[in-house]
Amino acid sequence: MTDVDHPGPAYDAARALLFRPSPLVHAFGLDMNRAALVVVHEAGLVEDGVAAGLARAIDLLAAEPYAGEWVDYLEFESRLAELVGGDASLIHLGRSRQDMFSATCRAVLRAGILEVLDALVVLRGRLLGLAETHAGTVVPAYTHGVQAQPTTFGHYLLAVDDAMGRGFARLDQAYARGNVSPLGAGALTTSRFALDRSLLAGLLGFDGVVENSYAANHLAPTDAILEAAAGFGIVAVQVTQIVQDVHQVQAAPLPWLTLAAGPLTGISSMMPQKRNPTALETLRELASLVTGSLGALFTAAHNLHTGMPDIREVSITQLAAEPTRLLVELFGDVLAALRVDRARALAECANDYSTMTELADLLHDTAGVSFRDGHRFASQLADHGRAQALAPADIGVDAAAAIYRQVTGQDFPLTEQRYRTALDPAAFVRSRAGLGGPQPAELARMLDTQRDQLANDAAAVSGHRGRLAAAAEQLEKRFRALVGG
């Protein structure tokens, strides 16, 4: 006998690290055994009296305190055999640890997705409330890191909600494709026993089966896991985009947007005046865990033969549902703690030539000036003002007319009132006419539409949880009937 015959603690520790035993995994394993007994009894493979004895024995083992260890199925069957003898193996008819572990991965997957979906529903409710509050709050928007045009903070927040809504939709679709059962596939070809795979799936809360028994264990788990991981990763990336926006604005000496001092910020240990936006940093760190997990899972999956278990085993620990949920929840707290200085935001828009597009558009719309000529004039106006350290409002209509004449050789066609209106950031926002813009009527329409979508999405999550609860109730009822038998 050699040391290889008795693996040391490193092997056990490595397996525990990979599989991360958890109450969820343990409970689902027990439910798989209960459901298997119901199905083999239904198929006439186990007599009533034997089924009753097996059910009572499973109850005894389930009642034992769970210490957090990984319990391999063969260990469980051995314990069951101590109570009922050779009949213990009857619950494993037509079954393999392959389809059992594939099913366990999917149970972990669906639980994680549901937690994130719940968090997204709450986050989006907060976003829509804030968007309504700030529907008329004019703020600068940026492209290439430079102020571009005025919009409203409500318009910006609706864009964030739209992104989180797409994240929800992707994960909800991942749930639909992931919450299907491999059980009954056996190792890869099913078995000689005509087990009711649909019943087995339904008792465990799955919405269907992976029909092809080869795919069930050796192809379908890969894309189900990676799809969910990608969904988590996209949510994380888009949260960090907003985090970076806030960081950029907060870096200004007099920022119009700040994270309120309090539990989400930290005072410097050395510099008394400094308030560090630690919650923003925490969001970025959580997002790094999520996107790092995505890389780990894709790495585990690539270049594998179809029969290899790597991606399924690694997914138990590497699927970043918990960091994603925490990310989404903290993001909601951060949004609620943002403070907008409306006057400062409006002044920043007014002082940095952010309405020049409107000036060019207005020249074309009211005087027939080609957009390119209007664009050249507005660009020259901005260059002139910046060179003289002037805000747009400091450039009178006569000075504007002189620049226009230099650019086009023609008289300036706008009245002073129209010229001044074109420089007004609030008027800029009101004048938007396109679908999806920040103008009040369109913003109100989008708010209503996105609230309706959120209500539908919340109902979808409730439906998922309701079906899982109904399945658990049905399993308990069918299993108790065996005990009574």
Distance between CA atoms of residues 152 and 57, nearest Å: 65
Candidates 210, 237, 343; CA nearest to 294 is: 237
Is residue 444 classed as helix, strand or coil in its secondary structure?
helix
In DSSP notation, 248-265 reads: HHHTSSS-SEEEPSSTTS
The pLDDT of 403-412, averaged and rounded, is 95
pLDDT, tens digit, 9 for 90 and up, residues 420-478: 999 999 999 999 999 999 999 999 999 999 999 999 999 999 999 999 999 999 999 99
Distance between CA atoms of residues 217 and 188, nearest Å: 7
Task: Please say whether the structural domain 98-133+153-341+446-470 has been given the CATH code 3.40.50.300.
Answer: no
Distance between CA atoms of residues 97 and 362, nearest Å: 71
Is the distance from CB of 183 to CB of 204 less than 8 angstroms? yes
- Two tokens at 243? 């985090």
- Two tokens at 152? 């409203």
Q: Give the pLDDT of residue 337.
A: 96
Residue 121 CB neighbour total at 10 angstroms = 20
Structural domain boundaries in the chain: 9-94+475-484, 98-133+153-341+446-470, 356-423
The pLDDT of 236-252, averaged and rounded, is 95
Checking if the pLDDT of 408 tops 90, the result is yes
Q: Give the pLDDT of residue 485.
A: 52
Is the distance from CB of 452 to CB of 19 less than 8 angstroms? no
Q: Residue 69 — very low, low, confident or very high, per pLDDT cuts 50/70/90?
A: confident
Checking if the pLDDT of 100 tops 50, the result is yes
- Higher model confidence: residue 378 or residue 9? 378
- Two tokens at 462? 């409730």
Q: Give the pLDDT of residue 402.
A: 97
Checking if the pLDDT of 20 tops 80, the result is no
Checking if the pLDDT of 95 tops 90, the result is yes
Residue 255 CB neighbour total at 10 angstroms = 18
* Beta-carbon contacts of residue 30 (< 8 Å; ≥ 6 apart): 58, 61, 62
pLDDT, tens digit, 9 for 90 and up, residues 181-235: 999 999 999 999 999 999 999 999 999 999 999 999 999 999 999 999 999 999 9
Q: Give the pLDDT of residue 292.
A: 94
Residue 280 CB neighbour total at 10 angstroms = 22
pLDDT, tens digit, 9 for 90 and up, residues 263-296: 988 888 788 787 889 999 999 999 999 999 999 9
Q: Residue 2 — very low, low, confident or very high, per pLDDT cuts 50/70/90?
A: very low
| CB-neighbour burial class of residue 425 (10 A; exposed 0-12, middle 13-18, buried 19+) | buried
Distance, first Cα to last Cα, the chain:
47
pLDDT, tens digit, 9 for 90 and up, residues 30-61: 999 999 999 999 999 999 999 999 999 999 99
* Strand (E) or helix (H) holding 191: none
Distance between CA atoms of residues 294 and 232, nearest Å: 8
Q: What pTM was estimated for this model as a whole?
A: 0.94
Distance between CA atoms of residues 229 and 35, nearest Å: 29
The pLDDT of 378-405, averaged and rounded, is 96
